Structure 1
Amino acid sequence: MGQSIMHRSIRGTASLLAALLAGAGILAGCGAQTGATTAAQAAAAAGPTTEAKKAAPLKLKIADINTNPNFRVAASQGFFAKHGIDAEIVTFATPAEGINSLFIKQTDVAFGADFPILNAVSKGEYSIIASTGIYDDQSAAQWRLLVGPGVKKAEDLKGKKLSNFRGTFVSYLWDKYLAEHNVSLKDVNVIGQGGFDEAYVALKKGEVDAVWLAGSTLLDKFLAIEGVHQLTDMSQTRVRVGSSIIVPNTLLKEHPAEAAELLKAVEEAAQYIKSHPDETAELLYKEVKQPKDAVLKDLPYTVWTVGFAKEAIDSFNKQKAYMVENGIIKEDFDLKTKISLDAVKKALPDRVTYQP
């Protein structure tokens, strides 16, 4: 069995159980008469009322990245608040970093590609609650391989230094791409990096020779480096991945209704983005300084379709098999036990077309 890039370059994250922030408590007032007291006790036993939920929304810290519009729109346009969620957006360099933040209870909700999602659920008590989409050929084409002046074809990567973002699916992409072009891992030097800023500096200094990246802003920035050019894109490979939302099991156990409301808010944000692209671009420029023209170019590929289809489970199974085979996942597990679709079934029943 060959040794994968992930096995060689990714350091495992210690498994910790993530707990959700304490939910809102409901205080039931007592009347002066016995009947009033009994009614209050009955109401308390029945659980929070709709009005009480609105008065005390559930506080959630949500892991995000600068180029994802879905969570920011849900927060800024009041969709989270409408659905009883007091959301705080916490920004990371990559979705994988956001997922890792669940381990130390820094956040309560995260999203990312199949690889970091599978890595997380294999190590702790977390569940995949919905898919946000699967890459088709057009979406896959947004991931480009940029290389330095000494690389004209895939075979030229022999002896070169390759940028690899730790904990992300880029490791899987490198493995598959190199194998398709008969380039051995023994013939390349994989450089683990934490994000695109680090990769940019390294490519500019000649410390790496090739970088996978996505997004119009990054593409323009990297192509401005002298001699750097695009070699190919992911649509020219056999790699297709999905993206999903992950939460601690404690959230589903303690706040199942709010988990569904969270997904409703994200879906409303997605619909807003589709009908208000200019406003969305303005928001991302205002909050995280993303150039408006770049946001508009990328919106068709960054807006989510929340649900769960057979393509999602197929993508998970393919990457899980790879990760187990290459020792990335140390102990195999039943994927079905890590997928909980109750929230998305309640929020968007028509979008759940496959039950694993």
Structure 2
Amino acid sequence: MRFERLSGVAASAMLLASLGQSALADDMTTVRFGVDPYTTGSQIWVAQDMGFFEDQGIDAQITTFATGVEAIDSMIVGRADLAVGLDFPTVTRATNGRLTVLAGIFRANPGWHKLVVADEIKSAADLAGKKIGIATGTLEHLVTVKYLEANGLSQDDVELVGFTSLVELVASLKSGRIDASFVWADGTDKSIEDGEHYVLVDDSAAGLSSSAYITGLTSFVEENPEAVVAVLEAMDAASAYITENPEEAAAIIASHTRAPEDAVLRLLGYNTFKLALTEYERTGFEAISAFAADTMNADISFDTVVVPDYLMQVSPDAVQLGE
């Protein structure tokens, strides 16, 4: 009898626990996130593993895509509700009201892109008449154009050669097909390992303000405003965690991206993690939208696609926009 009584108590406890978990699940809002396999999704992974999403009642369903561009596109085709991405793909895809930009999530510190040139090129002036590789339609493309402009060169003064990947840019530098190109990540070391190329400058010489954003499918955002605010609350907490605990954050991010912790830690150093919508974000956004208008016939403006209301509810001081 004692065993039967204990068994009954245990069964009741299990039933109560199950009911509690069910009630908790009912209180959670499912949000599908799209991220890339690098560090753009840092706050998403940290918010997930540190319980910040759960604390805000968010059941985060995270899908990793091959690139940030694909992560953003996943919203358009119905595979994600929210996505994080760098400014260039975010701006160029936020057309026709399909997407709503919710907040800047980090600012990219100068130095990510490095201008690798052949040894005989000693200054920007020497680029006149040379072949310069670009990753067509990307931030690297814009960095190149802005660097030329900053040094008194137009696109007509050089020959821009378009490519679709970093691998192609590096291979073309080493083969001599092009004379110079802004490259990034491990492409920098690979480009100069032959001893016939070197880094002339980094992207700080282009004078751009660069950020990453969290963007939502407009229909999801309008139908789930409370969930959007909850997501931003969790990401705000994750931003603080990354800033205060970079090594621990790198370990979390590396476990999801399969990148070495030391490499992730180094990449985190290129960014300042903080949710914000200020004139800094507006300036960078508008530079890209002007470029997109010239090269892609895309009509986009900061004020028509960025909605600061949600971030205002999380951190009013993070929104500093003039009229």
Q: Tell me by how many angstroms 1:328 deviates.
A: 2.8
Say if 1:57 and 1:297 are closer, same or farther in 2 by CA, change over 3 A.
same
Q: Deviations over 1:45-83 (max 9, x none)?
A: xxxxxx566554313032224133222222333323333
Q: What amino acid is aligned across from residue 180 of structure 1 in structure 2?
A: A
Secondary structure of 1:70's aligned partner: helix
Q: Tell me by how many angstroms 1:333 deviates.
A: 5.4
Q: Deviations over 1:242-299 (max 9, x none)?
A: 3322211012112111111111221222222123222223334433343333333332
Say if 1:213 and 1:59 are closer, same or farther in 2 by CA, change over 3 A.
same
8 Å contact kept, 1:285–1:292: yes
Structure with greater helix percent: 2
Q: Tell me by how many angstroms 1:86 deviates.
A: 1.9
Secondary structure of 2:269's aligned partner: helix
2:275 to 279, 288, 306: 306
2:136 to 147, 150, 166: 166
For residues 151 and 66 of structure 1, the distance between their equivalents in structure 2, rounded to whole angstroms, comes to: 32
Q: Deviations over 1:306-334 (max 9, x none)?
A: 0212222233234434443x25334x456
Say if 1:106 and 1:189 are closer, same or farther in 2 by CA, change over 3 A.
farther
Q: Tell me by how many angstroms 1:304 deviates.
A: 1.8
Does 1:210 pair with 2:180? yes
8 Å contact kept, 2:115–2:199: yes
Q: Tell me by how many angstroms 1:230 deviates.
A: 0.6
For residues 75 and 197 of structure 1, the distance between their equivalents in structure 2, rounded to whole angstroms, comes to: 32
Indicate the residue corresponding to 1:104 in structure 2.
77
- Unaligned regions of 5+ residues in structure 2, if any? 1-22
For residues 117 and 213 of structure 1, the distance between their equivalents in structure 2, rounded to whole angstroms, comes to: 21
Indicate the residue corresponding to 1:60 in structure 2.
32
For residues 283 and 194 of structure 1, the distance between their equivalents in structure 2, rounded to whole angstroms, comes to: 30
For residues 183 and 313 of structure 1, the distance between their equivalents in structure 2, rounded to whole angstroms, comes to: 26
Q: How does 1:287-302 map to 2 (within 5 A)?
A: 287-302=256-271
Q: How does 1:7-22 map to 2 (within 5 A)?
A: none
TM-score by length of 1: 0.72
Secondary structure of 1:305's aligned partner: strand
Say if 1:293 and 1:134 are closer, same or farther in 2 by CA, change over 3 A.
closer
Indicate the residue corresponding to 2:65 in structure 1.
91
RMSD: 2.9
For residues 285 and 52 of structure 1, the distance between their equivalents in structure 2, rounded to whole angstroms, comes to: 29
Indicate the residue corresponding to 2:19 in structure 1.
none
Q: What amino acid is aligned across from residue 348 of structure 1 in structure 2?
A: S
Secondary structure of 2:274's aligned partner: coil
Indicate the residue corresponding to 1:46 in structure 2.
none
- Unaligned regions of 5+ residues in structure 1, if any? 1-50
Does 1:271 pair with 2:240? yes
1:119 to 92, 95, 120: 92
Indicate the residue corresponding to 1:47 in structure 2.
none
Indicate the residue corresponding to 2:319 in structure 1.
352
Structure with greater strand percent: 2
Indicate the residue corresponding to 2:223 in structure 1.
254
TM-score by length of 2: 0.79
Q: How many residues align?
A: 300
State the identity as a percent: 24
Say if 1:348 and 1:64 are closer, same or farther in 2 by CA, change over 3 A.
farther
For residues 144 and 341 of structure 1, the distance between their equivalents in structure 2, rounded to whole angstroms, comes to: 33
For residues 226 and 108 of structure 1, the distance between their equivalents in structure 2, rounded to whole angstroms, comes to: 47
Secondary structure of 1:313's aligned partner: helix
Indicate the residue corresponding to 2:202 in structure 1.
233
